[in-house]
């Protein structure tokens, strides 16, 4: 794995993780059709971790407020201080994120089978086309007004179900959860924020599980650390600006513009997969 490949995969991860075009699907298709060397598991883990850091930096104020509110909640429990009126928005948001994460536990037993879909480029291409339809419909939904104070637990659970389905390679996690939020009446900006905050426990949990697998495989090759760091920096920086772009486009009702890209890319990769062509020939 050379430095150019590291940089390309870092950019792909940083863009596709947050833009609603499926990072897992793009990494799979790029590696197949450009005859890229398959990166090791640790590299993939670190790229996802870098985008997790990008979310933490972008939404640092929300995350800090939720952390503080969590400790205030513990203090109220210990001191048995009764609640006064409606709970703070940050406290409700914590509960919404917990409920939204629950459906992922149903995916864990079949995760290996879900990941095997990535071995079939034609299937990933078709799922990417499906993502396009999800995005196209999302912009045609009425603008909602729900925020952290009035989004229901049922809303959070249904968004979590959408996130569970989005573990399929080619089905965008951000696109599915944001579209689900819009369909349930969430304010567009809150739908985007909730989607990205909901990714934190999902990505962190997946990272911890895969780190255990890497440790069992024999640990880290120190010679690859510079490449790991380069990939992480690129994925993190590109990811940070991608979050801002998604927020801008969603607020302007242009979120569905990505549908056309998903249709074109999905159709192109589908044709290539069915004909056996590759964009870059394999090395002799």
Q: 155 and 184 in contact (C-beta within 8 Å)?
A: yes
- Write the Ramachandran bin of 218: left for phi over 0, alpha for psi from -120 to 50, otherwise beta: left
Q: 178 and 255 in contact (C-beta within 8 Å)?
A: yes
pLDDT at 284: 43
Return all residues near 150 (Cβ < 8 A) that are at least 6 apart.
Answer: none
* pTM given for the model: 0.87
Q: 184 and 158 in contact (C-beta within 8 Å)?
A: yes
pLDDT at 195: 94
Q: Taking the mean position of all CA atoms in its chain, how far away is CA 225? A: 24
DSSP 92-107: HHHHHHHHHHTTHHHH
3-state SS of the chain: helix, strand, coil percent to 5? 75, 0, 25
Lowest mean pLDDT of 31-45, 80-94, 194-208, name the range.
31-45
For the stretch 203-246, pLDDT in tens is 888 788 777 777 776 666 777 789 989 999 999 999 999 999 98
pLDDT at 119: 83
pLDDT at 93: 93
C-alpha to C-alpha distances, 213 to 61, 83, 148, nearest whole angstrom: 33, 44, 36
Mapped onto helix, strand or coil, the DSSP state of residue 148 is coil
Mean of pLDDT values over 39-43: 73
- 76 exposed, middle or buried (CB, 10 Å; 0-12, 13-18, 19+)? middle
Mapped onto helix, strand or coil, the DSSP state of residue 146 is strand
């Amino acid at each position: 794995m050379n430095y150019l490949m590291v940089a390309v995969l870092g950019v792909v991860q940083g863009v596709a993780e947050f833009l609603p075009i499926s990072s897992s699907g793009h990494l799979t298709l790029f590696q197949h059709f450009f005859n890229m060397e398959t990166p090791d598991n640790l590299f993939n883990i670190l790229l996802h971790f870098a985008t997790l850091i990008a979310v933490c930096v972008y939404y640092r104020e929300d995350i800090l407020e939720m952390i503080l509110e969590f400790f205030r909640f513990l203090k109220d429990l210990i001191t048995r201080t009764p609640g006064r009126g409606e709970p703070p928005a940050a406290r409700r948001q914590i509960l919404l994120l917990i409920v939204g994460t629950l459906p992922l536990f149903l995916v864990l037993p079949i995760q290996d089978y879900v990941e095997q879909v990535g071995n079939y480029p034609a299937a990933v291409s078709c799922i990417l086309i499906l993502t396009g339809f999800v995005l196209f419909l999302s912009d045609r939904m009425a603008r909602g007004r729900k925020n952290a104070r009035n989004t229901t637990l049922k809303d959070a659970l249904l968004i979590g179900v959408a996130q569970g389905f989005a573990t399929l390679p080619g089905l965008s996690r951000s696109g599915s959860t944001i579209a689900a939020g819009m369909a349930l009446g969430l304010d567009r900006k809150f739908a985007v924020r909730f989607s990205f905050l909901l990714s934190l426990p999902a990505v962190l949990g997946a990272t911890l599980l895969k780190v255990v697998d890497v440790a069992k495989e024999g640990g880290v090759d120190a010679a690859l650390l510079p490449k790991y760091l380069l990939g992480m920096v690129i994925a993190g920086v590109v990811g940070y600006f991608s979050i801002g772009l998604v927020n801008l486009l969603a607020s302007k009702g242009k979120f569905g513009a990505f549908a056309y890209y998903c249709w074109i890319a999905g159709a192109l990769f589908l044709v290539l997969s069915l004909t056996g062509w590759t964009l870059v020939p394999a090395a002799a």
